[in-house]
Amino acid sequence: MPNGEPQPSPAAQFRTHRHDVLNELQLIRAYLQMERPAQAVAVVDLLSTWLQSLTTWQISAGAFGEQLMWTAAVCPHVLLDSFTCQIPPVDDVVEQFCRWLKMWNDELSIRGQRGRLCVTVDQSGFRIMCSDEEVVKRIDEWTGAYPDLDFVVNRW
């Protein structure tokens, strides 16, 4: 990994993923105990969407899909709407994308929000369409920090 950051082991990534899933299940339980089934169903729907998106990462990204899937597995605040890979990117660009994805997940978590994204990978690299309005304020900063990623705001 660049910047001397060790790559977390699959076991460590799975522990984090399991922790996030258990948190969501505890939230569902709490809503049910408070007799708020609509909120419980909403959490089930979000959890289901996130878990289904992990499969999309894995099967749509070719050889680097497993790395993206494990990164997304520890990013429960990011929901993938679509992923298209026309040409596999170089490893450095994949690692840059993974760092950005974790950073964005952490920011969404702090704000108590979920973000949605569509990703296209082609000869130009990663093109990322985000639903988060904060992206508008951050595009210049992100483009400087992640020069191989192309950010677009999409107001779904």
DSSP label of 121? E
The strand ranges marked E within 11-148 are 78-85, 115-122, 125-130
Residue found by looking up tokens 């040409």 in the block:
87
Q: Exposed, middle or buried: residue 19 (CB in 10 Å: 0-12, 13-18, 19+)? A: exposed
- Give dist(CA 135, CA 142) in Å, integer: 9
Give the pLDDT of the chain (156 residues) as one tens digit per residue.
444 556 677 677 777 778 888 888 999 999 999 999 999 999 999 888 888 888 888 888 777 888 888 889 889 999 888 899 888 888 889 999 999 999 999 999 898 888 888 999 988 789 998 876 777 788 888 989 999 899 887 655
Sign of CA dihedral 149, 56, 133, 153: positive
- Give dist(CA 89, CA 84) in Å, integer: 12
| Backbone φ, ψ for residue 117 (5° rounding) | -145, 155
